[in-house]
Amino acid sequence: MRRNRMWTLFAVLAVGGLILAGTSSAQVKKGKSRPAATKYLMRGIMQPNCKGLGDLLKDSGPADDKAWDTAACHAACLSEMSHLLMDDGRCPDAVWAEAAKTTLREGAAETLAACEKKDLAAANAAFKKATAACAACHKAHKK
Ligand code: HEC
């Protein structure tokens, strides 16, 4: 009888654990109600804006006002991503929150401000900070 109870308890805990694991991975891959998967936000918004900005800030930097404005546009989109990643129940834990809400949000805002001033050194330093968020979050959450 005692043994049976132990097994029942064990089974309940195991099933509960599976349900919890399922929920948290669902939040990482997709929000609770909006249809866009995290990988599409990454592929469609994060990656192209990160690459576009990185390319523009290379060497002697954006060539003219139009190019600086495009760099600012990329930084602004990365900034919005720092909000999207926190919306709709997508954020599973403190590592994610720190990467999105602090590292990416501050780094992108500083990059945007530097692009508006056309300050290449400041833009590169801030962009480096923003991209530290990619590695931090991926290390913990990208399978
Ligand atoms: C707060 C967390 C977080 C941050 C910050 C983050 N990512 Fe991601 N990224 C993920 C997760 C989670 C996945 C895996 C999604 C999946 O496969 O379901 C992913 C996947 C990707 C992918 C693969 C997408 C695909 O097509 O499968 C790319 C590319 C990517 N991220 C680029 C970036 C870049 C560039 C940055 C920084 C500018 C960044 N990510 C910042 C969480 C993050």
pLDDT of residue 7: 67
Choose the CATH number for 2-141 among 1.20.58, 1.10.3470, 1.10.10, 1.20.120: 1.20.120
Q: Are 136 and 99 within 8 A, CB to CB?
A: yes
Task: Answer whether 139 contacts ligand 1 (Cβ < 6 A).
Answer: no
Query: Which among 46, 68, 77 has a CA at the least distance from the CA of 123?
Result: 68
Residue that is written with structure tokens 């919890």 in the block? 20
The 10s digit of each residue's pLDDT in 8-63 is 766 666 655 555 554 555 689 999 999 999 999 999 999 999 999 999 999 999 99
Residue type, 110: E
46, 91, 111: which to mutate for ligand 1, most atoms within 8 A of CB?
46
The 10s digit of each residue's pLDDT in 103-122 is 999 999 999 999 999 999 99
pTM score above 0.85: yes
Structural domain spans, the chain = 2-141
C-alpha distances in angstroms, 29 versus 66, 71, 72?
36, 28, 28
